[in-house]
Amino acid sequence: MIAITGGSGFIGAHLCEAIAKQTGSKPINIDINEPTSTRHCIYKKADVKNPPEMLAATVGVQTLFHLAAQISVQKSIENPAEDFETNAQGTLNALEACRKNNVRTFVYASSAAIYGTPKYSPIDEAHPTEPLSPYGFSKLAGELMCSRYASLYGIKTVRLRFFNVYGKGQSPSSPYSGVITKFATRIKSSEPPIIFGSGAQTRDFVHASDVAAACIFAAESKNTSGNAYNIGTGKETSILSLANVMIKISGKNIPVQHKSALEGEIEKSVADVSVAKKDFGFSPRITLEEGLKGLL
Ligand SMILES: NC(=O)c1ccc[n+]([C@@H]2O[C@H](COP(=O)([O-])OP(=O)(O)OC[C@H]3O[C@@H](n4cnc5c(N)ncnc54)[C@H](O)[C@@H]3O)[C@@H](O)[C@H]2O)c1
């Protein structure tokens, strides 16, 4: 049996669908919130902050994808303790439930936020980890636990460091979200996308269905136990060129709008994904243009 924590969320929903299509059976979706549809999952309400609920939800599970998290950097700054409880303690609870229930494989949704300001580019997995926010710290704490659970208890844990994930189903009000989702919302209502600063800052945008595929390959591969992998595309896109491509796809004649740069914003972010390619054949399929067409 396969289960996903956070299966009601943006990436979780893509992963539920990918697993249901690949295996022919619906995975269990462990989440505090109901999914918008149960077409591709069996919903089990449980809170990762609650150890008995997690223990009960993972009975009979062989593979757990742990995606449930508090994902807002801003909220983590306002309330670091709450962020830590959901993301770090929640990951420990999920790992403990797996240890007690003999779950063999644990795939952890980590984040490029654990790296902090890039010291070189592209960012490989050996890059120093100096998170800038409590969110980054709590995701890193989860990683360290995963790593130790592999060596101490023999659970196959795999840590996947997602870069900027986009795709259908990302809420424009989601704090993580998605410059792409925000631009799409503005362009659809014929308003200019807002760019903070010059727009020269770059990001590595990876489609949610490629991220879902990476999760599945990483769980299935024999080479991944205890390891961490970047999940991006290896291609960097400037925010200005992103806005221009999106406007072009929309066929609308709207300008971009610049506002003053955000303090402390990372200038350049792109993943080196060669290790994921080598160890489990990860190769993102959806080009940015293709992925964007589905959103506008
Ligand atoms: N979206 C991105 O670009 C991105 C980038 C890097 C890492 N990530 C990581 O990927 C994972 C999924 O992100 P997402 O964008 O799909 O976020 P999301 O907010 O859409 O989904 C998170 C899900 O977790 C659930 N959840 C929150 N607290 C919970 C709790 N206490 N118990 C059970 N369920 C709980 C929510 O209800 C939600 O369904 C997260 O771990 C996030 O840190 C996302």
> Domain holding 141: CATH number?
3.40.50.720
| Mean of per-residue pLDDT scores for the chain | 95
Answer yes or no: do 120 and 222 share one domain: yes
Residue 235 has a pLDDT of 96
What separation in Å is there between the alpha carbon of 255 and the centre of ligand 1?
33
**pLDDT tens digit sequence for 71-105:** 999 899 999 999 999 999 999 999 999 999 999 99
Could you tell me what percent of the chain has a pLDDT over 70? 98
7 Cβ closer than 6 Å to some ligand 1 atom: no
Question: Looking at the domain assignment, is residue 279 inside a domain?
Answer: no
Residue 174 has a pLDDT of 60
25 Cβ closer than 6 Å to some ligand 1 atom: no
In single-letter form, the type of residue at position 135 comes to Y
- Higher-pLDDT residue of 262 and 256 is 256
* Residue 215 reports pLDDT greater than 60: yes
Pocket test of ligand 1: the residue of 50, 71, 160 to mutate, having most ligand atoms within 8 Å of its CB, is: 71
Number of the ligand 1 atom closest to the C-alpha atom of 174: 19
Residue 263 has a pLDDT of 80
Q: Which domain holds residue 249?
A: 168-203+235-269+286-293
* Residue 155 reports pLDDT greater than 80: yes
- State the angle between helix axes of 10-23 and 208-220 in degrees (0 to 180), rounded to the nearest 10: 60
Question: Looking at the domain assignment, is residue 16 inside a domain?
Answer: yes
Residue pointed to by tokens 């189903």: 169
Catalytic positions, written as ranges: 135
What separation in Å is there between the alpha carbon of 68 and the centre of ligand 1?
5
Check if the beta carbon of residue 167 is closer than 8 Å to that of residue 181: no
Residue 172 has a pLDDT of 72
Answer yes or no: do 112 and 184 share one domain: no
**pLDDT tens digit sequence for 164-204:** 999 999 877 665 567 898 899 999 999 999 999 999 999 99
Answer yes or no: do 142 and 241 share one domain: no
Question: Looking at the domain assignment, is residue 277 inside a domain?
Answer: no
Q: Is the dihedral of CA 219, 223, 152, 228 positive or negative?
A: negative
Domains of the chain: total? 2
* Residue 126 reports pLDDT greater than 60: yes
10 Cβ closer than 6 Å to some ligand 1 atom: yes
Pocket test of ligand 1: the residue of 4, 5, 10 to mutate, having most ligand atoms within 8 Å of its CB, is: 10
